[in-house]
């Protein structure tokens, strides 16, 4: 059974939520977090946008070059294509009757894109799954986003 721990990172959740932004890294945890957001959207009658940001420095290794060589799509195009395919599958699995779920793929600095995009939403639902030394030294994305936007941010941690 999947368990969720949620924490309001900033502000307060509005009584009526019409739009929800869910940044996803395409991990199993982000799939569960998207499901949680879709459950909330079902109750609220809200729209959900799943945002995946391709962090370009992580796609610079030779392992990510297209099989057809340098004459094929560029590294960025290939990364965008693969992320779009994965996100489409994730969105299809998360979609429920009566809830519009849309996938968005962007590339660049993850935090900057989330902060910029969050301004147009009633609520941001974001994974809060780092722990230990990584969180102590670098913080987590939920905290960083919450500190930079006025939009309420709910951090969701998945267990079980």
Predicted pLDDT at 159: 75
CA angle 102, 105, 110 (to 5 degrees): 120
Higher-confidence residue of 127 and 40: namely 40
- pTM (two decimals): 0.82
Query: What one-character-per-residue DSSP string does 81-114 give?
Result: HHHHHHHHHHHHHH--TT--EEEEEEES-HHHHH
Give the total residue count for the chain.
Answer: 160
36 to 23, 108, 125, 155: CA distances (angstroms): 13, 26, 9, 11
CA–CA separation, 96 and 34 (whole Å) = 12
Note the pLDDT tens digit of each residue in 63-89.
Answer: 555 555 555 567 778 888 999 999 999
What is the CATH code of the structural domain delimited by 3-159? 3.40.50.620
Strand partners, 23: 51
Residue 44 has pLDDT above 60, yes or no: yes
Strand partners, 106: 53
């Amino acid at each position: 059974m999947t368990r969720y721990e949620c924490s309001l990172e900033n502000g307060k959740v509005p009584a009526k939520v019409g739009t929800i932004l869910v940044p996803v890294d395409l991990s199993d945890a982000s799939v569960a977090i998207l499901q949680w957001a879709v459950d909330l959207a079902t109750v609220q009658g809200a729209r959900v946008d799943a945002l995946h940001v391709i962090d370009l420095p992580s796609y610079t290794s030779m392992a990510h070059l297209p099989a057809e060589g340098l004459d094929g799509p560029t590294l960025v195009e290939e990364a965008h294509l693969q992320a779009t395919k994965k996100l489409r599958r994730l969105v299809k699995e998360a979609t429920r009757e009566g809830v519009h779920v849309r996938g968005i793929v962007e590339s660049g600095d993850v935090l900057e894109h989330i902060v910029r995009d969050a301004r147009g939403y009633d609520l941001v639902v974001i994974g809060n799954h780092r722990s230990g030394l990584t969180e102590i030294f670098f913080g987590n994305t939920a905290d960083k986003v919450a500190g930079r936007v006025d939009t309420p941010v709910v951090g969701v941690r998945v267990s079980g």
